[in-house]
Amino acid sequence: MYILYEVADRIATITLNRPDAANAQNAALLDELDTAWVRAGDDPDVSVIVLRAEGKHFSAGHDMTGGGGPVPDKITLDLIYTTESRRYLEYSMRWRNIPKPSIAAVQGRCIAGGLLLCWPCDLIIASEDAKFSDPVVMMGIGGVEYHGHTWELGPRKAKEILFTGRPVTAEEAEKTGMVNKVVPRDQLDTETRALAEQIAKMPPFGLRQAKRAVNQTLDIQGFYAAIQSVFDVHQTGHGNALSVGGWPVLMKLDEMKQNIK
Ligand code: ZN
């Protein structure tokens, strides 16, 4: 079980539970996570959803080792597109649109695919040690599959972190509006819980409509269309890497591990 799930006081708590691998995301973890989100969305006894992570780090991103699953003989863009559109696009969009408020509690590193888990949440509380990064450009790809960067950070900061691969600190993320609040590491769970309890007292239909008002405004500004089209831009990066080296990214696994700081 990569995901823990519990409901108490109208709050569903979904926990990433692969701390020995810094909550790196394999297919099973993401499928379990999606099941948990849908369950919380469907449960009339749940008003607020909290997403948190066990261990030192929120998530090291996609599990580039393949998570122990079978590796196909030939990797095609068709295969990559099919897999990624389900797990890295449809999942994140579904979680973003669940009609209940959600809060991500982020500590430690949140790298690349980790952003696909916290960005879809309505609110983000970060601990002081949290660092958010997308070093995917060094693999020859223009950023992770779900392009929240420009929306979350503004165009200049988005370009800076993509061009350099450097992490954004919790404090910096709060300044751009990507993070709602920064708290000491030992208070992350209690502060998140307190906020969830406060929101859970509000009428569920009012919360649902407030969320829809903000998300619809973003969609009218182009959020939905931009996310869809940048996903395809991302796929051209995989296509180029496949054509150059026969592998979905330009960097080999060992090299990536050394370069991602
Ligand atoms: Zn990809």
Domain chopping of the chain, boundaries = 3-257
Q: Do 123 and 102 meet the contact criterion of CB atoms below 8 Å apart?
A: yes
Distance 7 CA to ligand 1 centre (A): 33
Ligand 1 centre distance from Cα of residue 235 (Å): 6
pLDDT of the residue at 251: 81
How far, in Å, from the CA of 84 to the mean position of ligand 1? 6
Which of these, 98, 96, 51, lies nearest to 192 by C-alpha position? 51
Residue 79, CA atoms < 13 Å, CB-side half-sphere:
9
Q: Average of pLDDT values for 13-29? A: 97
Please give the distance, rounded to the nearest whole angstrom, from the Cα atom of residue 48 to the centre of ligand 1: 30
pLDDT at 74: 85
List the one residue out of 101, 98, 29, 119 whose CA is nearest residue 69.
29
From the CA of 226, how far away is ligand 1's center (Å)? 16
**Cα 238 to averaged position of ligand 1 atoms, centre (Å):** 7
Tokens representing residue 27 in the block? 């297919």
Question: What's the pLDDT band for 254 if we cut at 50, 70, 90?
Answer: low
pLDDT for the residue numbered 183: 98
Q: Whole-prediction pTM value? A: 0.95
CATH 3.10.20.340 fits 3-257, yes or no: no
Ligand 1 center–CA 127 separation, angstroms: 28
pLDDT digits (tens, 9 = 90+) for 190-199: 999 999 999 9
